[in-house]
Chains A and B, each alone.
Chain A
Amino acid sequence: RKNTNKRGVSLKTQELYALVFATRYLDMFTDFISLYNTVMKLIFLSSSFSIVWYMRRHKLVRRSYDKDHDTFRHQFLVLPCLILALLIHEQFTFKEVMWTFSIYLEAVAILPQLVLLQRTRNIDNLTGQYVFFLGAYRSLYILNWIYRYFTEPHYVHWITWISGFVQTLLYADFFYYYLNSWKNNVKLTLPA
């Protein structure tokens, strides 16, 4: 809230994440997994929707939002993911297809942000670290999946595994430049 400069933050990516969480957590209405699980779902939902609200409605934040460079169109990602979820899923129910759609969409939701970073020559420390930790966080899921595969019976989930792997791959190029800039102690820039 103190840092009102949101240059370099993609509203499109934030909106896609809000959509990801809204479609994934429909089970909150029908199933209970654990208190931790429910609390984390509420945190993901409230944080993603409040970021979108801030970027659209907050006067100071909106002013610094780099709208002209953030031109990626939602439908190019949302529609293919929806079609893929309708074709490839484990059960043909509304909740399950929405859940699968959210898995596919999450894998590619970072793309508008990566495109915006590439267009913005001067990458903010905040934005660079945000993207790095978002990718690092998701890549840890892969370790978790390997662990669960060996410790839990019947733990085989191709849809989440392949999507999570694709998601991490999309970050690979960014990771390379981020770690290089960190190692050489220079400001992060991406090649045009």
Chain B
Amino acid sequence: REWDDYHDEL
């Protein structure tokens, strides 16, 4: 999976 799949949350 890509990094921003669920790391987009702050």
Contact = CB atoms under 8 A, between A and B. Distances in A.
A30 B3 contact: yes
Contacts of B10: 37, 40-41, 44
Contacts, number: 22
Nearest to B7: A27
A97 to B, nearest CB: 13
Nearest to A34: B8
Interface in B1-10: 3-4, 6-10
B-side interface mostly: loop
A40 B9 CA distance: 10
A37 B3 CA distance: 14
A33 B4 contact: yes
A33 B6 contact: no
Interface of B: 3-4, 6-10
Contacts of A157: 6
17 contacts: A27-B3, A27-B7, A30-B3, A31-B3, A31-B4, A33-B7, A33-B8, A34-B8, A37-B10, A40-B10, A41-B10, A99-B7, A141-B9, A155-B6, A157-B6, A160-B6, A160-B9
Given A31-B7, A160-B6, 17 more contacts: A27-B3, A27-B7, A31-B3, A33-B4, A33-B7, A33-B8, A34-B8, A37-B10, A40-B10, A41-B10, A44-B10, A95-B3, A99-B7, A141-B9, A155-B6, A157-B6, A160-B9
Contacts of B3: 27, 30-31, 95
Contacts of B7: 27, 31, 33, 99
What 4 A-B pairs come out closest when comparing CB atoms?
Answer: A33-B4, A31-B3, A157-B6, A33-B8
